[in-house]
């Protein structure tokens, strides 16, 4: 359910922020949300990723037709789409047993950390792409984001090799 709510939030943001063709953005986003719901309800693992792609495509249509500068909310949208995919695939896992509370808390904390890291790296890329200059504080944040990204990738790789 959380994946659907966050995905619908991304679509709603894109529709409300669209200054041109909001009905097209809404149609693409609603189709994506419908595919996500179908995939989750029927446990059809091919429909869910298509739905996530539809939600992301709604945002892409919004960005493509918008007038003006780069959307400052794109790092948050990227983090939200990442959360949608993770939550959805988590619910599609074929586990018949319930996870222990400690495992569940650790998994949710890891997801929250990765979502925050996604937003941080997205913000850094947005700043780099727009050529903004933020001084020493921004440089320090960029270094911290790079260190966190390397640490996250190292952790994922080490867990996958076990």
Domain extents in the chain: 1-94, 98-162
Express as a percent the part of the chain with pLDDT over 70: 76
SS3 162: coil
CB of 129 closer than 8 Å to CB of 104 = no
| C-alpha to C-alpha distance for 10 and 56, rounded to whole angstroms | 8
Q: What is the pTM of this model?
A: 0.71
Q: Write the burial class of residue 90 (CB in 10 Å: 0-12 exposed, 13-18 middle, 19+ buried).
A: middle
Share of the chain above pLDDT 90, in %: 24
Considering only the C-alpha atoms of the chain, give the largest distance between any 2 of them, rounded to a whole number of Å. Answer: 52
* Chain segment 148-159, per-residue pLDDT in tens: 766 666 666 566
pLDDT, tens digit (0-9, with 9 covering 90-100), for 103-142? 778 888 888 888 888 888 888 777 777 766 556 666 666 6
CA gap 118, 160 in Å, rounded:
20
Each residue of 20-67: pLDDT tens digit?
A: 888 999 999 999 999 999 998 988 888 889 999 999 999 989 988 887
Closest CA to 40 of 110, 89, 106: 89
Lookup: tokens for 102: 């400690």
Contacts with 89 (C-beta within 8 Å, 6 or more apart), sequence order: 48
């Amino acid at each position: 359910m959380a994946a659907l709510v966050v995905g619908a939030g991304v679509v709603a943001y894109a529709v409300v922020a669209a200054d041109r063709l909001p009905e097209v953005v809404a149609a693409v986003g609603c189709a994506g949300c419908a595919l996500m719901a179908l995939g989750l309800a029927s446990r059809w693992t091919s429909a869910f990723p298509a739905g996530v792609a539809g939600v992301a495509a709604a945002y892409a249509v919004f960005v493509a037709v918008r007038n003006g500068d780069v959307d400052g909310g794109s790092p948050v949208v990227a983090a939200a789409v990442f959360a949608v995919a993770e939550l959805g695939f988590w619910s599609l896992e074929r586990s018949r047993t319930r996870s222990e509370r400690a495992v569940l808390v650790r998994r949710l904390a890891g997801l929250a950390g990765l979502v925050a890291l996604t937003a941080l790296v997205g913000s850094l890329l947005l700043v780099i792409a727009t050529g903004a200059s933020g001084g020493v504080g921004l440089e320090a944040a960029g270094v911290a984001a790079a260190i966190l990204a390397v640490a996250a990738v190292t952790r994922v790789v080490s867990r996958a090799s076990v």
